Chain A
């Protein structure tokens, strides 16, 4: 069984935000009105967190793309009262929108604040109604959603591979954020496969994970000279 993981090279990342845009379009994520977004109801499956170091004029800005970390021991699935969030055998943490009762316990329990909630009936720009991604179901008001590592792409790839009677190649299954990254800062693949790029990068001396000490075993690795 493969174990899907992501590596983000922060030394390559320019903080342009193309990953966010790709993610929103790929996954039919609702567009929230600016006033609502200001009130903390913005819908991002992949967000960029910014931290600032130093005083003006010597300010250093750190920009870190943050998808769901698809933890191997996810705190969110432990607390879900109805099993609407789960981890499959390939390590992907998913959300069943039609079972979720909207208690938001998983959001409260997630140490990475990775989940978002449909506070209102989801809305999209007028132009986008004709170009939804047909592979991703639309969500309804009152449920929690989050990054799926573009699991819908995996389904297609698996079907192709099965038809051609071969294993999935390294780099064949990639999420939309990686595909759209102009700096090639995002890598994705099977971390258990010793030949994969992700496995090698995750064991690079620059690799670290955010808040590793919590023991939730996130599967998103960051590369940075600083660490």
Chain B
């Protein structure tokens, strides 16, 4: 069997596993092991999701959440990558930044929501600032460490080739650290998404996906709440697949550095 067919088969098994989980969920609720008041039937949830998908509010909520998430992720990850590469190539920047960023990273991002609420006010800007900060703090250490290793490995060659500092960053450090930086960005994307949802529940007012889940739960319309949660899983999966694809392309581009040698 070819590699492509094997991959297709594995992907189909993965989808079947999701179907299996839904089937078990359906059975568990139908036979009464779990009360439908606590856990609605998946068929009901899917039906609600289909109905919600026809409403403008559903797409407005998703548009708002994804808009805040994309802005926060782009700004936070951009800052984290820039700081990471700076700390990676400069021992001085590393010494100066590490204690501060290590300290900030130890603070759970959700704890910053009350502070953001007081400083900025409720709404998307506060959520975006906290999510962006979380994103930057998660992408920084992995990028900095990868850049440090890359700089140490290739500094000698760069010196011999009389590479300027920008050329050293562009041709040696950045490509050498790219795979690890992308892996860190992947984690930071997930963290930023989670922080956005939590923020919408805590200080987001009445719009956004997080606020919608909270609203439906409070009104005991669990099927709609679960429909949003299932959609969150789907969006998270798409984000993950996009990053997996970019990382894979990057690894192929990087010639899968540690492949077996041909003699």
Task: Tell whether A and B belong to one assembly.
Answer: no
Chain B residues proximal to chain A, CB less than 8 Å: none
